């Protein structure tokens, strides 16, 4: 058997592929599928599209890697760059009334998503708890990010609010789920597709590496359409060293305003004639956004 397939998981040297007819196959990869470029980008990762051919025994061989639309790179436990997932269209940034949303963290996610690039969708989960907890903070969060033009959707994994709308937003796309621990990412996945856990079990059995399956990125086909990537290592990802371009993409309202600063290399701290500072003082740039920007700029590449 040969053809095109998508990588649904990688366990060391072994890949699990999903063929165009939806069948799962074990495969090994040819070494260095990509001949040039940095080492961490040469091997196939979750979300990649590959061409495969029959191999010895029951395993196929991945022989070529299709060009990637994007690839998410994170430092590994030794601080070296590691490719976690590829070809991501959309990133679902999940927040909830509990744990309390942190705007600095949301801004880090938005910057990382803009740098990929991918489309962000801010999900306010646990909407059923809004009466009981800090409804004011959630309303302010929705107003802040909705006002900046980011799409915002309320959901409840408990009572089902927004779940059908979310299924529609996922159909036809590859989406990655991120957010602080406890906001309800696992619960949302179950609410979206109650049959998914069974298929997760099948995947672990196929890999024969059950103990690794909770730490490896997986790509799942949702029964309502679309692929969902769950990557434990990137669930709480944030850019570690954004470039100036990443910052401009993550903070378009600040980048726009910075054109009017007196100095073209203004860092918007104490420079005279800083249009960004003036806009923040006049209330045209939200103070929390400028704070996030300056913090990220402080450890930029």
Nearest-Å Rg of the Cα atoms of the chain is 21
* Least distance (Å) between residue 112 CB and ligand GDP: 18
Pairing of strands 3-11, 49-54: antiparallel
Phi and psi based region of residue 182 (left: phi greater than 0; alpha: psi -120 to 50; beta: remaining): left
Nearer to Zn ion, 192 or 274 (CB): 274
Report the DSSP beta bridge partners of residue 129.
none
Q: Does the protein bind Zn ion through residue 247 (CB under 5 A)?
A: no
Residue 280, binding choice from ligand GDP, Zn ion, none, Cβ under 5 to 8 Å by partner class: none
Cα separation of 173 and 170, whole Å?
6
* Least distance (Å) between residue 156 CB and ligand GDP: 4
* Least distance (Å) between residue 257 CB and Zn ion: 8
Residues near ligand GDP, by CB under 6 A: 125-126, 128-129, 156-158, 179, 181-187
Residue 268, binding choice from Zn ion, ligand GDP, none, Cβ under 5 to 8 Å by partner class: Zn ion
Cα separation of 129 and 182, whole Å?
14
Q: Which two tokens stand for residue 282?
A: 């006049």
* Least distance (Å) between residue 225 CB and Zn ion: 45
Residue 261, binding choice from ligand GDP, Zn ion, none, Cβ under 5 to 8 Å by partner class: Zn ion
Nearer to ligand GDP, 186 or 288 (CB): 186
Please check whether residue 157 is in contact with residue 188, taking contact to mean a CB–CB distance below 8 angstroms.
yes
Stretch that binds Zn ion, among 116-124, 199-207, 259-267, 279-287 (CB under 5 A): 259-267
Residue 128, binding choice from ligand GDP, Zn ion, none, Cβ under 5 to 8 Å by partner class: ligand GDP
Please check whether residue 41 is in contact with residue 83, taking contact to mean a CB–CB distance below 8 angstroms.
yes
**99 cis-preceded (ω within 30 degrees of 0):** yes
């Amino acid at each position: 058997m040969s053809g095109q397939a998508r990588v649904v998981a990688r366990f060391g040297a072994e890949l699990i592929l999903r063929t165009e007819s939806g069948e799962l196959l074990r495969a090994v990869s040819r070494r260095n599928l990509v001949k040039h470029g940095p080492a961490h980008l040469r091997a196939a990762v979750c979300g990649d599209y590959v061409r495969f051919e029959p191999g010895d025994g029951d395993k196929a061989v991945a022989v070529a890697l299709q060009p990637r639309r994007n690839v998410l790179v994170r430092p590994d436990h030794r601080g070296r760059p590691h490719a976690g997932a590829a070809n991501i269209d959309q990133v679902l940034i999940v927040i909830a009334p509990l744990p309390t949303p942190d705007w600095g963290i949301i801004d880090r996610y938005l910057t990382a998503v803009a740098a990929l690039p991918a489309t962000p969708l801010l999900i306010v989960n646990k909407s059923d708890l809004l009466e009981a907890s800090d409804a004011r903070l959630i309303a302010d969060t929705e107003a802040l990010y909705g006002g900046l033009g980011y799409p915002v959707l309320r959901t409840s994994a408990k009572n089902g609010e927004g779940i059908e709308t979310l299924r529609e937003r996922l159909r036809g796309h590859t989406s990655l789920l991120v957010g602080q621990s406890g906001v309800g990412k696992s619960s949302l996945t179950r609410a979206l597709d109650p049959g998914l856990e069974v298929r997760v079990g099948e995947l672990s059995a196929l890999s024969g590496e059950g103990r690794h399956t909770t730490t490896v990125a997986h790509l799942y086909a949702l029964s309502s359409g679309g692929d969902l990537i769950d990557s434990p290592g990137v669930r709480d990802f944030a850019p570690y060293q954004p470039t100036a371009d990443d910052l401009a993409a993550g903070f378009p309202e600040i980048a726009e305003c910075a054109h009017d600063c007196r100095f073209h290399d203004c860092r918007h701290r104490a420079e005279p004639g800083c249009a960004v500072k003036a806009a923040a003082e006049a209330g045209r740039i939200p103070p929390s956004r400028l704070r996030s920007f300056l913090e990220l700029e402080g450890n930029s590449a």
